[in-house]
Amino acid sequence: MAFSKPNARQNRIDLTHLGASGDIAVLAVDGFDAGDLTDIAGSAERAGYRTVMISPKKGLITGRPEGGDEMNFVVDAQPGEKTASAFTGLVIPAGAASIERLRNDQDSRLLIADFLRAGAPVCALGEAVAMVAEIAETTNPESDAVLALKGDLFAADGEDARSDARSLFIKAMSMTAAAA
């Protein structure tokens, strides 16, 4: 008997290729939107990228998806330990508490500025949009998500803004890597 449904395992992450395309820095601290992280990390990992948690806080940080339970993530490095050149791109998940702490952390601001100067893809979601615009010294696009690429900010708004920004971020990293 033949099955007409596609195998659910076809969309799984191939761990042997994880990180083959490069590393993505995820800048966050306690209080970030874990749903943003898990959504973009899944897409990135399927494309061969590895996510690296960067935080001013050492050890574990906690995030919570909208309407979900708290999740813990292991911090891989602090903002002053690595530069943008060590990564293919940067993701800054939403979360008012997390963004306020990052906004007040000089090393985090310098890391974001380093990515913007390098022209590397930066995906900022929710409250992170205003912080990235501030560091880029541009007007706040007042949108749900922004993709920074080669120093320009591209805003996305509406109910699909975050998913659109995530998919464009992955494509931008692939195009940037192919051009290098």
Name the superfamily (CATH) of residues 21-179. Answer: Class I glutamine amidotransferase (GATase) domain (3.40.50.880)
Give the residues across from 153 on adjacent strands: 148
Cα–Cα distance for residue pair 20/40, rounded to 1 Å? 17
Whole-structure pTM value: 0.86
10-residue block means of pLDDT along the chain (180 residues)?
Answer: 45 47 93 91 87 96 89 95 93 96 97 95 94 91 88 86 88 72
Cα–Cα distance for residue pair 123/129, rounded to 1 Å? 9
